[in-house]
Structure 1
Amino acid sequence: MKRVVLTFGLFLLTSLGFAQEDSYQLSTHILDISEGAPAANVAIKLEKRNNKTESWDYVSENLTAENGRVNDFLPAGQNNNGVYKFTFFVNEYYKEKGKETFYPFIEVVFEIKDEKHYHVPITFSAFGYSTYRGS
């Protein structure tokens, strides 16, 4: 009986986790490769390019969780097509660790062209970073 309850509980938690991701179109993840760990409590701002004014419009801002993730940018089921910019405020992260960084913030510009899920993670250290289109 305990095994059935445990299995059902695990299934329920897994299902809820996937359901949350499906309700949002955009997510990100930050890994600090100098620490070999996720970067928690990093502020991330999301902006969308306004083609009429050639400027950036504020969309939202979040903090990374303990696992370095933010899964709830841009609700799914809307027309979210456009050019976006993440600004990762890594300077504060390094100040809390008592370290200096070459990058006070990291900007990543990308384009959403359809209704698929977009995952835009970064890996970084105090003196370098990389990004890619994840899944």
Structure 2
Amino acid sequence: MSSSTTASVSTHILDTSVGRPAEGVAVQLAARSGMLADWQALGGSATDADGRCKDLPALPAGTTHVRLDFAVEAYFQRSENKQADAQQDAPANRDSGTTGVFFPEVAITFAVNPGEHYHVPLLLNPFGYSVYRGS
């Protein structure tokens, strides 16, 4: 596919609760052509040690909307297990049920134009997240 006929997507995740990249988060990519079209699952990847997904699938020509699904619950469960002894009264242990994760999944949907690249960083912590169009 030519870059002039389709958009491209990349992402990375920063865990703002520890000030480090979030490694090992599964990310799924879906696309659709038109606001009323069905979503087409394209596959996925997982974040590397730098919190980046460098091998997300290419978008089909005609894509108008993209959805990134981040499976963050498993990441936070792994992180909690590592930090449990170091932070006995961490916010993750406070009034949040058994997992300590308020948002187990984060789904980001955005519109795209052909030929443009979209870098979508996710700033993440156990009780909130923020996303923006990066460069």
The alignment's TM-score, normalised by the length of structure 2, stands at 0.73
User: Which segments of 5 or more consecutive residues in structure 1 lack a partner in the other structure?
Assistant: 1-23
Q: Find 1:35's aligned residue among 4, 18, 32.
A: 18
Provide the residue aligned with 1:71 in structure 2.
54
Structure 2 unaligned residues grouped into runs of 5+: 1-6, 81-91, 93-99
2:109 is the alignment partner of 1:109: yes
Q: Does 1:119 align with 2:97?
A: no
- What's the secondary structure of 2:50's corresponding residue? coil
Structure 1 counterpart SS, 2:54: strand
Partners of 1:42 and 1:106 in 2: how far apart?
11
Match of 1:94 in 2: 76
Distance apart, 1:83 and its partner CA: 0.4
- What is aligned with 2:31? 48
Larger radius of gyration: 1
Question: How many residues are treated as equivalent by the alignment?
Answer: 111
| Structure (1/2) with the larger strand percentage | 1
Change beyond 3 A, Cα 1:27–1:63: same
Distance 1:65 1:80 in 2: 29
Q: Is 1:85 matched up with 2:67?
A: yes
Q: Deviations over 1:97-132 (max 9, x none)?
A: 225110010000011112122101110100010000
- After superposition, the Cα gap between the structure-2 partners of 1:112 and 1:56, relative to the gap in structure 1 and judged at 3 Å, is same
> Is this contact kept in 2: 1:74–1:80, CA < 8 A?
no
Residue 54 of structure 1 deviates from its aligned partner by: 4.2
4+ aligned runs moved over 4 Å, structure 1: 50-54
Once residues 52 and 79 of structure 2 are traced to their aligned partners in structure 1, the CA distance between those partners, rounded to angstroms, is 19
Please identify which structure carries the higher helix content. 1
Q: Is the 8 A contact 1:121 1:132 kept in 2?
A: yes
TM-score, with structure 1 as normaliser: 0.73
Is the Cα–Cα contact under 8 Å of residues 31 and 63 in structure 2 kept in the other structure? Answer: no
RMSD (Å) for aligned C-alpha atoms: 2.2
Identity %: 34
Query: How far does residue 68 in structure 1 lie from its aligned partner after superposition?
Result: 0.2
